[in-house]
Structure 1
Amino acid sequence: MKKLFIALLGVVAITFNVHAQKKSGAIQYETQIDPAAMAAASGFPLSDEMKARMPKSVKANYELLFNATNASYMPVEENEDSNGGGRMNMGRMMMRFGGGGGNRDYYYSFVDQKVFGTVDLNDTTFAIPAKLTVDVSPVGGFGGGGNRQGNENANSGVVQFLPGPPTVEIIKSDETKKILNFNCNKVTIKSTRKAKILDMEKDVIDETVLWYTNDLGFNFSPNPNMWTEGVVLAIENKGGGTAAKSIEFRGVSNKDVNLPKKAVVITPEQYQQKMEAMMKRMRNNNSRGGQGAPNRMIIN
């Protein structure tokens, strides 16, 4: 009887351990874009020479670490492009600044449903509050929402977007599929904006497809501005997308998923002000012929 009791305790312990492991682990994501298609979808004109110099595809890998209370999402290695160019060529710059979400380190707190994006600027790590939502503002600001400079950039091409927010439809579907052996549901985010194309007013329609699962028990998206519910395992849009490639259930330390203690929390408006001030100093330095010490900026 004693041996049987010990055996039963062993089975319970193993079951509990397996269950606990399912609450923490790592998911590997891959983002792939076509820079020319991405630029065209954003209304940026490209010459044939620019297209020829751009890579056909740009890939980057990211890792989501999660445990029962927190998660972090960040790049895990150098971006790769089909031209094998330098670190800051056109394709990689578009991946870094145009991806909307995957270009920052993000930290999630499941208990209070908080999201922070971090950026290193002038030797300081700033944490900017974000949120899981649907935000299709053109060239959105950090963590969502458009800004004045973003709208000006969006109107710099042959597509002249008219003032006013886009019309957004969230279209749920009965279509499902398996991703990493999880049951995933499909939802389409459709945005419609008024624009002038060659002086003719037209509707510019953009659609992004999300595949999400509720099987993991928390909320997450590789792009915080593209989320409706659950854990988004794939994002499909014009010019590319992001997809989960593998998952490993294992122990994850709190220090790997908690917001860094050195991070200084600031609002998106304060971050925008710092960026504008820095750009103003850079323009002043350039107008003086590059005199003076350059400003140091590190953006991860």
Structure 2
Amino acid sequence: MKYLLIILFTSFSTKAQTSGYIEFKSKIVSQVIDTAKTKNDNVKQMMLNTVYKMKKQMPYATYELIFNDNKSVFKIKKKMSVDNTIDYKDVAGFSDADGEFFTESTKELRLRKIKAWNNDYIIRSSFSQWELKNQEKKILGYRCFKAVSKKELDNGDSIEVIAWFAKDLPFNFGPKEFVGLPGLILEIEERGIKFYATKVNLSNKNYNIKLPEVNKSISKKEFLSQ
């Protein structure tokens, strides 16, 4: 009876919590840039130097995911550089995580607010399609399940995206644009870069998340055409 009450209380507490704050870090876990087709040795070395530089700087960058029962926003956490060698904007840009990523789950709407070519853009997209896998592992004490999806790159190629989500955290949000799974995404890997949760804080705090104006948004295709 005692254990039953504990289980019921834990279940009720998780469902009662309607918002959260998650911190993420990123790191390079495999080859990020393919230099095989690059014939110019100077360009190849420059590409490798960029990867080496980002690998050293990534541990200093922290990202935050803030969400309520319906909306979320993901962005790099603003902080002072520990020295002049850390450029957080470059780190986020290298990981395709610059700007702000917004989600409105009831409308299956994703918006990304980003600055490019000295202009501000709002890029809209729909939820990704996920394939659930029969694999699991523990992340921060949570039982997480594997899911895979495809992401189209700017050049038209597509890459595999691997996500690990926790069903015990009943929120369909995650880092960057990766959302839409039956549980909070605590880890994502794409193009050799991994984003992983380092802190999970659930609460009933009323986070006021204001999405950018949808009527001013454009599709990714329209964005690339500019």
Report the TM-score when normalising by structure 2: 0.68
Aligned to 1:108: 103
- Deviation sequence 1:157-191 (CA, Å, 0-9, x none): xxxxxxxxxxxxx7643221122332211134579
Matches of 1:41 and 1:132, distance apart in 2: 32
Q: 2:133 corresponds to which residue? A: 173
Matched, 1:96 2:97: no
Change (3 A) 1:30 1:44: farther
1:51 counterpart letter in structure 2: L
Residues 116-162 of structure 1, C-alpha deviations (whole Å, 9 max, x = no match): 1112468875432122215xxxxxxxxxxxxxxxxxxxxxxxxxxxx
Q: Aligned pairs, how many?
A: 203
Aligned counterpart, 2:112: 117
Amino acid across the alignment from 1:213:
A
Residue in 1 that maps onto 2:197: 244
Q: What residue ranges of structure 1 are gaps of 5+ in the alignment?
A: 1-13, 135-169, 192-203, 277-300
**Equivalent residue runs for 1:258-297 within 5 Å:** 258-260=210-212, 265-268=216-219, 269-273=221-225, 276=226
For residues 63 and 189 of structure 1, do their structure 2 counterparts lie closer, same or farther at Cα, with a shift above 3 Å needed?
Answer: same
Query: Which residue number corresponds to residue 87 of structure 1?
Result: 87
Q: Which whole-Å CA distance do the structure 2 matches of 1:62 and 1:132 have between them?
A: 21
Q: Establish whether residue 38 from structure 1 lines up as the match of residue 32 from structure 2.
A: yes
Aligned-pair Cα RMSD in Å: 4.1
C-alpha change, 1:70 and 1:189, in structure 2 (3 Å) is closer
Q: Distance in 2 between matches of 1:270 and 1:205?
A: 18
- Please show how residues 182-193 of structure 1 align to structure 2 within 5 Å: 182-189=142-149
SS at match of 1:96: helix
Closer/same/farther in 2, CA of residues 37 and 250 from structure 1, 3 Å limit: same
Pick the structure with greater CA Rg. 1
TM-score by length of 1: 0.53
Write the deviation string for residues 29-53 of structure 1: whole angstroms up to 9, x where unpaired. Answer: 111237x931128966753465346
1:74 aligned to 2:75? yes
Equivalent residue number for residue 129 of structure 1: 124
The CA distance in 1 between the partners of 2:38 and 2:103, in whole Å, is 33
- Structure 2 unaligned blocks of 5 or more: 1-8, 152-156
Q: Distance in 2 between matches of 1:71 and 1:47?
A: 39
Once residues 185 and 233 of structure 1 are traced to their aligned partners in structure 2, the CA distance between those partners, rounded to angstroms, is 10
Change (3 A) 1:77 1:174: same
CA distance in 1 between counterparts of 2:36 and 2:159 reads 10
